[in-house]
Copies of this chain bind each other. A is one copy, B any other.
Amino acid sequence: MGKNRLEAFSDGVLAIIITIMVLELKAPEGTEWGEIKKLLPDLVSYMMSFLFIGVYWANHHHLLHLVKKVSAGIMLANLNLLFWLSLVPFATGWVGETHFDSLPVAIYAALLILNAVSYTILQETIAACHKQNPELAVIMKAQSRKGIVSSILYAVAIPLAFLEPYSSVVLFFLVTIMWLIPDKKIEKVTAGD
Whether B13 lies near A13 (C-beta < 8 A) is no
Whether B20 lies near A14 (C-beta < 8 A) is no
Most chain B beta-carbon contacts within 10 A, residue among A15, A28, A102: A15
A133 on the B face (CB < 8 A): no
Specify the chain B residue showing the minimal Cβ separation from A7: B5
Specify the chain B residue showing the minimal Cβ separation from A23: B20
Chain B residues within an 8 Å CB radius of A183: 72
Specify the chain B residue showing the minimal Cβ separation from A21: B86
Separation in Å of the A32 CB from the closest CB of chain B?
7
Chain B residues within an 8 Å CB radius of A1: 65, 193
Chain B residues within an 8 Å CB radius of A72: 58, 182-183, 186-187
Chain B residues within an 8 Å CB radius of A90: 22, 25, 27
Interface residues of A in 145-183 (CB under 8 A from B): 180, 182-183
Given A23-B23, A31-B101, A58–B83 Cβ distance below 8 Å? no
